[in-house]
Each structure stands twice: as C-alpha cells, then as structure tokens.
Amino acid sequence: MTLDVGVIGTGMIGQDHIRRLADVLSGARVAAVTDVDTDRARTVADGLSDVRVHPTGQDLIADPGVDAVVVTSWGPTHEQYVLAAIAAGKQVFCEKPLATTREACERIVDAEVAAGRRLVMVGFMRRYDEQYRAMKEVVTSGEIGAPLLMHAAHRNPSVPDHFTSEMIITDSTVHDIDVARWVLGEEIAAVRVLKPRVSSKARPGFNDPLLVLLEMGSGVLVDVEASVNAGFAYDIRGEVVGEDGTVELTESAGVLTKQRGRWSGRVPATWKERFARAFDTEFQAWVDAVAAGGTTGPSAWDGYAATVVCDTGLEALRTGERVPVVLRQRPDLYKEQ
Amino acid sequence: MTLDVGVIGTGMIGQDHIRRLADVLSGARVAAVTDVDTDRARTVADGLSDVRVHPTGQDLIADPGVDAVVVTSWGPTHEQYVLAAIAAGKQVFCEKPLATTREACERIVDAEVAAGRRLVMVGFMRRYDEQYRAMKEVVTSGEIGAPLLMHAAHRNPSVPDHFTSEMIITDSTVHDIDVARWVLGEEIAAVRVLKPRVSSKARPGFNDPLLVLLEMGSGVLVDVEASVNAGFAYDIRGEVVGEDGTVELTESAGVLTKQRGRWSGRVPATWKERFARAFDTEFQAWVDAVAAGGTTGPSAWDGYAATVVCDTGLEALRTGERVPVVLRQRPDLYKEQ
Amino acid sequence: MTLDVGVIGTGMIGQDHIRRLADVLSGARVAAVTDVDTDRARTVADGLSDVRVHPTGQDLIADPGVDAVVVTSWGPTHEQYVLAAIAAGKQVFCEKPLATTREACERIVDAEVAAGRRLVMVGFMRRYDEQYRAMKEVVTSGEIGAPLLMHAAHRNPSVPDHFTSEMIITDSTVHDIDVARWVLGEEIAAVRVLKPRVSSKARPGFNDPLLVLLEMGSGVLVDVEASVNAGFAYDIRGEVVGEDGTVELTESAGVLTKQRGRWSGRVPATWKERFARAFDTEFQAWVDAVAAGGTTGPSAWDGYAATVVCDTGLEALRTGERVPVVLRQRPDLYKEQ
Amino acid sequence: MTLDVGVIGTGMIGQDHIRRLADVLSGARVAAVTDVDTDRARTVADGLSDVRVHPTGQDLIADPGVDAVVVTSWGPTHEQYVLAAIAAGKQVFCEKPLATTREACERIVDAEVAAGRRLVMVGFMRRYDEQYRAMKEVVTSGEIGAPLLMHAAHRNPSVPDHFTSEMIITDSTVHDIDVARWVLGEEIAAVRVLKPRVSSKARPGFNDPLLVLLEMGSGVLVDVEASVNAGFAYDIRGEVVGEDGTVELTESAGVLTKQRGRWSGRVPATWKERFARAFDTEFQAWVDAVAAGGTTGPSAWDGYAATVVCDTGLEALRTGERVPVVLRQRPDLYKEQ
C-alpha cells in the first residue's frame, strides 16, 4: 500500500521533498533517487534505507520499483523527465516551472492529451496554503460578488547574486500568476510591467521592485508588487475586491506581544517558514491521489499557462507595453477544474 | 479674541462647517453668510444668532465685520471669491477644488504671490486625519527607508445619479492625489488610468472602478483603486512600501465583537463618519492659524497641483496612455512645506 | 452665549482643563481661577486674558461673573466646593473622586436631592471614550445577549514614589469600577481583591499587580487586572462576555508598520495620550449641557457609588475576603440613567 | 521501520486517531484494535487492511505484533491499560485523563518510576498547537519578563445533555490547567472557583460559566473563564502578563472579509477545527519518539498533576473556598522538562 517514489534531482528542494516523503507524509517512501551530481545522490540515499541510486532520470523512470516520479531537477531538464514519465505511464510531480519554454510545455500537454489522462501535477504549492484556500472559497461562494480587482504583494527579503529582474517575474511572480488564475478561475489576457523607483538595495542595473499588472479574460485587473530585496521579511499579501465586498489574507502570526510601547507579531522570515505546511499538504494530496490511481492539483495546462504568461511578462518588462497573452485552445482534458 | 468668519455657500458642506464653527470649535463664530439661494442663506442665519446675510460673496468679503472667509460654494465659483479675499487681504479657507481649471488656479497662485504672503488654505482634510498623520510621520522618520511604492483604495458605497467616471478622478481620487504628494513630499510626474472589469452596480457607460497610477518625481509608483459603487461601506486604505519596511492604515473600528462564528468590526458607512474628526481638527487648525495672523495646511500651490493632476488624469482616462504632468515652476512662497 | 467658567485648583489637571476651555472647546471661557497656591493661580491667569484670581474657592463660587464651576483641587477639598456650588445653584464639574469618604459623598447627594435637580457632574472621562461608548452600545443593543462576565486590564507604566497599593484601587481601578457600573447598567454588590505574584519593579511592600473582582448585582463577574509598574506602555483592555457573543476594545493604533521581521503598532504611552479626546468630548458635553440649562454624564450618585466601592475594595485588600458593597437607597433624582 | 500501533477504544476519538495513523502520519500503522463493543472494533478494522481485532486491551498489549499502544477508551479504564503497557515494557499514548483518580495516577507514576524510564505520554494536545508553542517560546525567552498573571478563556459552543458543572473543570478546564503548568513551568498551588451569573442557555441547576482561579507556586495568578454553552463559536483565548510586556493568542482566521459594513473573520466552530493540526503534530511527535526508542511530551506526572488539580477544583467548586493543591514529591524521572 506504500507508494514507491523516485526523485530526480537531489538539490535543496529535492532534499526537502525527500525529507517530506521519509518523515512527514503518510503512504509513500523514497525508492530511488538520481542527480546530475551522482555523489550528491548517493549521499542523500545513504541517509535513508533501501534507496536505489540511478545514473540518469530515464533509468529511474524505467525502474519497475518506482511507482511515481518527482522532478526537482534544474528547470531546463524538466521537459525530458516529464515526457519520459508520461511515456512510461507513471504519475509525475514536477516542481515549477513545468518547462522553461512555451514549446516545451506544449509538447508535454500534447503528450498528456495523447495519453488520454492526467499524469502530471505541477508544484504550485500556494493552492494548498490554508489562507489562499480560504480566499478562493470566499470568492467562489459569491459572498463578495463578482471580482473586479485583485491586489498582491510578493516581498522577498533577499536573493542570490545571480538573480535578475527577469527572475522576479519567472521565479517570484509566477506564483502570483498561478494564484490569480486559480482564485479567479480564468485565464490572463494581457500583461504590463511597470518599474517603480529602484531600491538602493538592488544591485546596479537591477529593476527591483516591479509592479506587474495582469488583465484577466473578464477584465479583472490584478496588480502584483514584486520585490526581492525587501530585507525586513518574507511578506506575502493578497486581496480580492468584489462588487459586494473584499477578502484579504491576514497577517499570519500566532501570538501578539506587547513590549516597549508596541504591540507586534512575527512576519515569516523565509518562503520555507511561510509555506512549510502548504508544501506538506500539497505533497500529501499528490501521494493520496496517486495511490487512488489518478492525480490532482495544478495540471500541465496550468504549468503551460504560467510559462506563457511569464514569457509575456518578460516581453512587457522589455518593451514597457501592454502585451496580450496568446494561449492555444484548452484541450478537453483540462476542462474540468 | 473671537474670529468673525463669513461663509460663502450654505449648502450641505457649508452648513456642516457652520455647525462646526458654532458648536465645536474654539475661538471663532459665524458673523455672516451668503448663498446663491438667498432664502437658504437666511434660513441658516436664522438658526444662529447675530449673523448677517449678504446678497453676494463680494459683499460678504467686503464686510468689515468679517475677519476671514470660508468658501463652500459650487466649485466653478471658487476662483472669484478666493481672488476677492486675497484682494481684500483676508484669510480664506476654500473647500476643494481650489478652482476647476489649471488657469484659474494659476491666477490665484499669481495673486497670492503678488500679495507676498499666504492667504489661502485648501480643504484637503485627510492631512488632519490621525491615521494619515501617523503614516506620514513614519515615512518622514526614515523608519521604513526610502519609499518605493504606495498602494491606496478609495471605496465609496454609492454616488448620486449625476456622478460620472470623470468625477471618480476629480472628486474622489483628488484626495489620494493630495495624500500622495503630501505623504511622499514630492510632485506627481505622470498619470495612467486603467479600467478594470466594470461593476454591475455602475450605471451603463460608467467606468467604475478605475485603477489610477501616479508616477512621482522620484519614480515612486502609487496605485489607487477608486470605486464609487462599492456598496458595502466607505473604505479607505493606504500603504507605503519603503526599502526597509512598510506602513499601512489599520482598520478603524474601536471594538471587535464575536457572534455567530465570526469576529467582526465596523467599517465606516460614509465619508462623514470616517473623516468627522479630521474636519474638526483641520478647521480648528485654520482658526488658530488665522487668529495668530497667518494660515496653515494645504496651500494654493497644493490646490493648483491637485487640479493639474486631475486634468492630466482625465486625459489619461480618455486616451488610455501615460500622460506627463506639466506644472509651472514652484514660487518661493510655497517652498517651505 | 459664552459660558463663564471658574476653575478651583490650577495644578496639572486644572491647567489641562483650562487649556481645554481656552483653546479647544466651543462656547466657554475661563472667567476666574483660584488655587491654594495663589501664585500659581496668578501665573495661570496671566497666561490668559481677562481672568479674575480669587483667594478661595468660596469666593470664586460667589463671583456673579462665574456661571459654572470646575473643581480640580486636591481630593479631600472637593466636598466643600461641590456643596458650595450646589448651595449657590451653580453647575459644577468635579474631577474624580467626588469626595474621599462615603459620608462626604452622601452629604453631596443629600444636598443635590434637596436642591431638586442635578447640579453635579463627576469626571469619569472613559464614558466619553469612543471605544467604551461603542462597547456599551453593543452591550445595550442586546447583540451579545445578557452579559455574564467582564474582563479588564488597567496597566500603568509607572507611578510616583508616594503611590501605594491602596491607590491602585482608589486612583486606577476606580475608572474600571465606574465603567463596569456604566457599561453593565447596574450596581456592584461585592468586591474581592487577589494578590498575584509581585512585580520586581514595585517598591518593597507594594502589592502590584492586583486582581480586583467585582460582583455585580445580577451576578455578572468583573475581573480587573490592575498594575502600575507595567513599564511597557499605558495599556487599557476590556471585554464583555455575553450569552451570545463578546465585545472587546481593539488595539488603538492608527497605523501598522512592518520592519525587521515584525508587524507592529503603537500602544499609548500615557493616560493623556490614550484619553485626550475623551477629555475633550466629556468637557464639551458638560459645557453644552450647562449652556442648555442642565447637566449630563456621571452624577453625584455615580461618584458616591464609586467611592463606596473603592472603600469596600480597600477592606477587601486588607482582609483578603469577599466584602459586600453597602449602598444607601438610590434617590429618584438618579433613577433615569 | 513502520511502527505497529495497537489502539484500545474505537469510539469517536479512537477512530480519529486511527484515521490519523492510517492516512496522515508518517512511520506508523494500525496493527490491532479492541473495544468493549467488539462489533464496533471489527467494523473499524474492516475499513483498514491487515488489522487484528483483540477481545480485550490486555490481549492487544500482549500481542507481539504490537509495538506501541494508544489508549482511547473510557476514562475509568485508562489505568489498567496504561499499567499493563508499562508492565509489558511498551510505549503507551493515553488520551486525557491519565486516570480518573489521584490514587490511580499515583499507581501509574509508581509503576513507571519502577520501570526506570518514561513509557507514558498523555494527550494534552495544546502543547503541540503552534499558537501555544509561540506563547511558551516568548515566555521562556524572557522577552516579557517574569510572568505575573495569565488570562484564559475556554468557550465551548455547546455540550451534550449529560454534561455537568463538574465536567467544565474535568473536561474543559483541564486543558487550561495543563497549559498553565506547561507555559509557566511550575506547579499549581491552590484553586478557587467563582460562579458568575448563570447563562440562560445552561440547563437548570447547571453553573455555567465558571471563573477558575489558579494560584501557581510562585504566586502567578491564572484566571480561566470556562463556559460550555457559548453558542457563538469554539473560542480559546490566552494571555500571559509579564513584568515587561504581554503575549496573547491572536484570532486564528486566515482571511478577513469586508461585507455589509463589517470586516470579519471566522472563529473556529469546534475543537476539532481549532486543534486539528495540533493533534496531528502531537501524534507524529509520539510516533517519532517511539521509533527513536523513547517517548516525549506530557508525562505521567503531568497527567497526575492535572488530575489532582481537577480534584482540587471540584472541592473548590463545592465549597466556594480557596483549596490548596497537595502533590506528592516529584520523582527524579520527571525532573527534566
């Protein structure tokens, strides 16, 4: 009854998912790992019991002892592993991005449609965060009427030196892009990117923060403040404005303290702190769905749409213009949400 | 020692200021009133004691028993009364707008500069709201570092039938325009107006809500969600995002109740409820300053800048483009804030 | 139309009320002052215009140019001035306590009853605080059902060296005693005082904090945490628990800031900061009521009841027992609240 | 590597723990069950795979295929199963109460001390709630100085007909008793129970709410408002007041909505909703500790102390007096917290 999972990519996020499979979740275990750095894979395997190390992702996918596959390797390699898993008829959980180009995502969608059933889940963990789920529930219930606008902020305390303005869109805002599509239940039609005053904490030549404006198909306008040198905390904000009311994420601290003339509470320091539980819930949902013979959550289509919107955002960042989002037609496989 | 004030315009807002002068404030009284509808002026005067009724604003201004003048008449008439007060060397408090055209505002600025001293205060009452004052204090203190963005929302529950999309800018957003200039301490350089999905509660042909984007001189970007059919309450939001932190207005309810599975608090129902105290504080500040021989608060220049930015906003609304704000040079009289 | 007010006692609180009458309120002025320290009275008078200085409170009350009297002298002297004002048929605003003994309060009540109309208002300013008013409104509306308990905290940052444990009851908790009577609309039937662990910040021999338990006539139980060495702020909390819900005072800060990993807001530093506006509103209400020929707010009966409950509290503090509160019968004059 | 767990008692709470072991937690499975109602045990076993059904708890404990034992049977039966588990040298997780009498708890403590190592964990799940953990962390850090008071409220929406005033102490307040001991890190020295006005929603003869006052060894005073007919929600409040500040549980809603003139958030409806995650965390902690060869969390001593304090509380409820808590000496086995 225990799901034997193979993990491709044993870097930071891969190790975190392996820990989750080994120590936190119910009904799954790590059966095999692989990594471009075989020594690292072997070290990770040595920390567990009874784990095979494969030379390549393809070998791992082919392993008959692997029931399902987790892809946490470098983004540009996602496509080949997801396609191989689909070809092998094995369920695959792929960390975002599904693939780094529109064309690669389309090949995955095509393959899955040809397979005739969903085999891919993409790791947009915010869909499993309790606060975002409560927000979507309120929006869907109709309590606040038809949505008109959505406000969001994605504040990262700091980023590594190799981070670029483009990555603010493809690595940070991509989550808000998925949230907007999911909470509002519709596609994004156009993107604008505005450049506010640059933070003195950003490296020279780095446009940080950005204000990303998403136009949904129905006209709902989403503004996302995205910054990656916020310093003070990892701060995620969100609000949907409807015709009859609004719904917003609350501050997430569990206790309020009073000292030295202030009441105060903690803002999460990192994305790990903020979304730790969402990762657990997401992954358990996948394990349960796979054990039940299917999959769940964000689909290959969601991964495709996110990548296309990010591409569009990069053009909007370059040109300063409003750029329409061009999506292919949504296959029937992805019709039911 | 009591300031004898003459009030030009005894409509709703005029009557509110008259009540304030008569019953709330210290050091002032209503000495004279006038209105285009003389009967209404007379009725208002009859409710007080020892108040003269003048046939015209010019007569009221000329009345030697009037120490200072309040202009609460219809917007297009403001210019002539403010100019007359300046000519008479009398302090004047003018409700917003200072005047309805850029040219009219320039004539007032020119007259005041020629007079060589400030005689005009414009009624941007948010500058006297405790919450906005606390926000400005935090920004000015440097606690949150250099400002990068500002988010605002101006949600009006409903408006009269004659209200238009243009008035969302000139009547509602004008307050956020002044707040942005005042809190951030700089001029607005350009305006964009985006049109989100239209509320089904708006009359046909009415663009509501709007998302107004203000570019400050330094690049700080201000987004203002402005809606006038929000229905659920009069809800004013604001947040400044700096390099080292943020500051935002809190919900303003004094008590939290728990019932039927919810904790909850009151959102103000009207602008009167939300800003009642700010109006009192503003007006007392003016009375005190006039009693001390000068004036205070938002100047004719602030009134001029607001009108120019509104004009620019109307062009931006029409064209869908980013429109630069063109201001004349700031006279020395308005140099010190 | 301007009320000429005479002020007996020009110490800190007296000067604050004088400033209020001179600079803040509408419809009143300071006509005369007196103080046991005549030089201080004269200095205060010199800062204003046209103010008479009287050698004694009795002289001031007798002054035909004094329409109404404010008593802000030392507590033990309150009785004689209030009685003299009643005898003179002049309205009197008396800072708490009405008088320092049960018997003195009874003499005042007797005198006022004999006069046949209310002439005394006692300075329990919390009744004019917006938060407490909203709390009372919720309780009175029936929204939360019949009250069962009330929780309160009165945290003073520090007190002068002469402050004693007894004064925690008579100077601090007295406000919570009045609030309990007023919000719940009934008398206090018994008092217990418990002694928690003593703060290391309290002087030796000083019992601080205290937990004061008030039993209302109906059985509603009120617990008041009272401390005067809280250090961190002036923090006033309150919650009424009813059969169908609860209502509590919110934190009062106008802005929330985020910095260094925390969201935070200001707790007031002093009672002046916390209740500044309540004092203004209270005093204006008195001025307006007196101008209209009567009085308003907390009555001599309220002052009497508060003093009796404080006395009872002192016995409870001494004995550690539950001590019943014994009040005389409430005269008809005080029947209507 | 999977822990084979035997569950004694397959009622509501037993089934919930079985679901947890089967579907939520990592590293454990249900190997055997038993219940006084054998049909119910069999039905529960049928819903799982490969689960043995034993006629008695003793049989289950003796089963060599059972690594560790969960006791979720009726309170009065706890003692015999816990003693049997200790005798068998098997780790046992016992839902509260550890046992229903002081003497029974002492026999368990004696047996465990004789065994020379901890074999018992008691199910006080609040110690695994994120909010309470954050509260304890703040208290322990010294940030708010030495604790002086603690305020708590335990509001249950409703209870079954068989519920009594005594059970408010033994079933509801017992959690606050454990929290006080754990957060403050010391024993309770005395108990008082006060009876506020009775809710009209309570059955005749039922004293609800109660105000339970706990005196800690150091003098810290804890007041617990406990009600079980609160109707509006399941509302758990807590605040520790220290010499330098305070720490309190925040409202736990993830989103704030604005509608019809109110901002609002959800209060949990039931204890399951409020503490769902705490139960998961608690149980995983036990599974992990047992897998590592020991146990963790609340000990038999904690279970003993809670039962003694509850007994003392019942006497205080009966007599209306302050009743001292008499504990035997704490064995060395329980010295390290």
Burial of residue C101 (number of CB atoms within 10 Å: 0-12, 13-18, 19+): middle
- What pLDDT shows up at residue C336? 63
Please check whether the domain covering D127-270+304-325 is classified as CATH 3.40.630.30. Answer: no
| Structure confidence by residue, pLDDT tens digits, C243-266 | 999 999 999 889 999 999 999 999
What letter represents residue B312's amino acid? T
D149·C223 Cβ contact <8 A = no
Q: What are the φ and ψ backbone dihedral angles of D252, each rounded to 5 degrees?
A: -100, 5
What residues in chain A have their Cβ under 8 A from chain B's Cβ atoms? 145-149, 151, 153, 194-201, 209, 211, 213, 216, 218-221, 223, 225, 227, 229, 231-232, 235, 241, 243-246
Architecture per CATH, A3-125+277-299: 3-Layer(aba) Sandwich (3.40)
pLDDT class of A335 with cuts at 50, 70, 90: confident
B-contacting chains (≥3 CB pairs under 8 Å): A, C, D
- What pLDDT shows up at residue C321? 97
- What pLDDT shows up at residue B336? 63
Residue A130 is classified by DSSP as H
CB-CB contact of B192 with B213 (8 Å): yes
A216·B197 Cβ contact <8 A = yes
pLDDT class of A287 with cuts at 50, 70, 90: very high
Ranges assigned E (strand) in chain C:
3-8, 28-34, 52-53, 68-71, 91-95, 120-123, 147-155, 188-194, 210-216, 221-227, 235-242, 245-249, 255-259, 262-266, 323-324
Region A7-31: mean pLDDT is 95
What residues in chain B have their Cβ under 8 A from chain D's Cβ atoms? 232-233, 235, 251, 253, 258-267, 269
d(CA D275, CA D13): 13
| Whole-number Cα distances in Å, B183 to A208, B27, B147, B178, B179 | 22, 29, 10, 8, 6
In chain C the first and final C-alpha atoms are separated, in Å, by: 28
Give the distance from residue C1's alpha carbon to the nearest chain B alpha carbon, in angstroms.
9
Mean pLDDT for chain C overall: 96
Considering only CA atoms, which of C243, B116, A1 is closest in space to residue D230? Answer: C243
| Structure confidence by residue, pLDDT tens digits, B153-182 | 999 999 999 999 999 999 999 999 999 999
Residue C61 CB-half CA count within 13 A? 21
d(CA A99, CA A118): 17
What residues in chain D have their Cβ under 8 A from chain A's Cβ atoms? 1, 22-27, 49, 130-131, 133-135, 138, 143-144, 244-250, 252-260, 265-266, 277, 284, 288
CATH of region C127-274+304-334: 3.30.360.10
Considering only CA atoms, which of C208, C194, C132, C172 is closest in space to residue C306? Answer: C172
pLDDT class of B55 with cuts at 50, 70, 90: very high
Cβ-nearest to A264 among C235, C263, C269 = C263
Helices (H) and strands (E) in chain C, counts: 10, 15
SS3 at position B229? coil
What letter represents residue C270's amino acid? T
For D249, the enclosing helix (H) or strand (E) is strand D245-249
| Whole-number Cα distances in Å, B131 to B238, B247, B278, C254, C280 | 10, 11, 10, 5, 19
| Structure confidence by residue, pLDDT tens digits, C133-192 | 999 999 999 999 999 999 999 999 999 999 999 999 999 999 999 999 999 999 999 999
Mean pLDDT for chain A overall: 96
D210 forms bridges with which residues in the sheet?
Answer: D226
d(CA A256, CA C303): 37
The structure tokens listed for D176 are 């606050």
What residues in chain A have their Cβ under 8 A from chain D's Cβ atoms? 1, 22-27, 49, 130-131, 133-135, 138, 143-144, 244-250, 252-260, 265-266, 277, 284, 288
Q: Is the pLDDT of residue D1 over 80?
A: no
- What pLDDT shows up at residue D336? 63
Instruction: Report the relative pairing of strands B52-53 and D28-34 from DSSP bridges.
Output: unpaired
- What pLDDT shows up at residue A336? 63
Region B203-227: mean pLDDT is 96
d(CA A303, CA C159): 63
Burial of residue D200 (number of CB atoms within 10 Å: 0-12, 13-18, 19+): exposed
| Structure confidence by residue, pLDDT tens digits, C293-332 | 999 999 999 999 999 999 999 999 999 999 999 999 999 9
d(CA C291, CA C182): 25
Residue D163 is classified by DSSP as -
**Length reported for chain B:** 337
Q: Is the pLDDT of residue A121 over 70?
A: yes
Region A71-89: mean pLDDT is 97
* Superfamily of the domain at D3-126+277-299: NAD(P)-binding Rossmann-like Domain (3.40.50.720)
Q: Is the pLDDT of residue A136 over 70?
A: yes
- What pLDDT shows up at residue C64? 98
Name the residue with tokens 């009441």.
A263
pLDDT class of A45 with cuts at 50, 70, 90: very high
Q: Is the pLDDT of residue C337 over 60?
A: no
- What pLDDT shows up at residue C253? 83
Q: Which of C249, C255, C258 to mutate to test the interface with A (most CBs of A within 10 A)?
A: C258
Give the distance from residue C306's alpha carbon to the nearest chain D alpha carbon, in angstroms.
21
d(CA B175, CA B156): 13
B247·C255 Cβ contact <8 A = yes
Cβ-nearest to B263 among D259, D261, D264 = D264
d(CA A174, CA A125): 12
A148·B216 Cβ contact <8 A = no
Q: Using a CB-CB distance cutoff of 8 angstroms, which residues of chain B are in contact with residue C143?
A: 257, 259
The structure tokens listed for A179 are 């949230």
Instruction: Report the relative pairing of strands A210-216 and A188-194 from DSSP bridges.
Output: antiparallel
Cβ-nearest to D199 among C148, C223, C232 = C148
Q: Which of B184, B221, B250, B262 to mutate to test the interface with A (most CBs of A within 10 A)?
A: B221
CATH of C3-126+277-297, one of 3.40.50.720, 3.20.20.450, 3.20.20.60, 3.60.15.10: 3.40.50.720
pLDDT class of B252 with cuts at 50, 70, 90: confident
Domain ranges of chain D: 3-126+277-299, 127-270+304-325
DSSP codes joined into one string, C83-98: HHHHHHT-EEEEESPS
The structure tokens listed for C209 are 């904090």
D-contacting chains (≥3 CB pairs under 8 Å): A, B, C
Region C14-31: mean pLDDT is 95
C258·A235 Cβ contact <8 A = yes
| Structure confidence by residue, pLDDT tens digits, B90-127 | 999 999 999 999 999 999 999 999 999 999 999 999 99
Q: Is the pLDDT of residue D337 over 60?
A: no
| Structure confidence by residue, pLDDT tens digits, D262-299 | 999 999 999 999 999 999 999 999 999 999 999 999 99
Cβ-nearest to D263 among B260, B261, B267 = B267
Instruction: Report the relative pairing of strands A221-227 and A147-155 from DSSP bridges.
Output: parallel
Give the distance from residue C231's alpha carbon to the nearest chain A alpha carbon, in angstroms.
8
d(CA C176, CA C170): 10
pLDDT class of D335 with cuts at 50, 70, 90: confident
Give the distance from residue A147's alpha carbon to the nearest chain B alpha carbon, in angstroms.
8
SS3 at position D85? helix
